[in-house]
Structure 1
Amino acid sequence: MKNAALFFLTASLLAACGHTERTTKNTSSPLVDSAVVTSPKPKNCLSLIEPEKLGKANDYQESAKSIKVALTLEKDTSTTETAGGCYFNNTVTVLATKKSGSQLFKRTLLKDDLLYFTKSDDVINRSVLQNTTYKPTFNGQKYITLTMSLRNPDSKKTANYIVFMNYFGEIVKVR
């Protein structure tokens, strides 16, 4: 009895699935416009960082840790709109390598990465990433500590955030 019920159930499922596939087939496909719409590029946006500082790696190495950290500041394609105009956002690429030369991780940090760890989004949304520096810890912790400086172009105020990253490139906490 079980075998007959199981056979009947399997046959019913196969018949039902095959029937829906035949009914959903459509020989005529609607025409789709394949033109890609791009957003307009911002005009006359300013940068808070001199072009000479962009793209150059700043290398840091502690004697207590067996890693070397390279921070490279780059100009992002996104912009921040302010009352005084628009400003290009910046990104920082963190490249951590062992003393042997093998790569631990490579990660690009944005100012938006801080939004997950802070209570107030207003300061971060109105600011532009100005600088990132390595902060030595002088102990055996398995963390990389960075200071991200965000500057509000209108008020010229700077907000500093300390970012703790593990050796996998994940942000652990932000102060």
Structure 2
Amino acid sequence: AACAKGHARACFQVAEMYREGQYQFPKDIPQALRYTKWAAHQGDPQALSNLGHIIINGMGVIRDDAKAVRLFRHAAKLGAPEGMLNYGLALLRGNGGVRVDYQEALEWAQKAAAEGHTLAHQQLPMFFNASKNPNPPARSHPSSREELCRLGVKDLRDLLRTEGVDFSDCVEKADLVARASQRLPGSAEP
């Protein structure tokens, strides 16, 4: 009812219920996206941050890192802890074309942590390390297939990110496919 009257926070909550399939709302990602966009355009800080997350991950929309980072920044300035952390991460990594600024990244992460954001608390050491050692020694890229095969998952992920490849959701998708295939008739149990 409140969403129908134009209340941005209520529409954001409706979006979340569609996204999760809660209460009387069936799980409907396109509908969740519509409500999230509407609430974000009305200036709801959490909706702005969530829309940035949707856009930076290309979830039902074309991936646009620069637009996502602008949304994170706007959400952060409006006080959304998730936006603060995500904008800090963008400053730390230089995502979306922003200039890397370790000190400002640390400040945003600290603000998010001060607001009680658990992940921000957990990631503060990473921000502190980056601000104290802004120019870590460059890693050399593997020069042979054997060197590439010896890389650990984290090193491989980091290497792929330097090449512009982000497969953060691929692992989750692969896990879901593996679980689903185990339920197919005739598949052996592990």
What is the TM-score when the length of structure 2 is the normalising length? 0.19
More helix by share: 2
Q: Which has the higher strand share?
A: 1
| Larger Rg over CA atoms | 1
The structure, 1 or 2, with the larger RCO (C-alpha pairs under 8 Å, 6+ apart) is: 1
TM-score (norm 1): 0.20
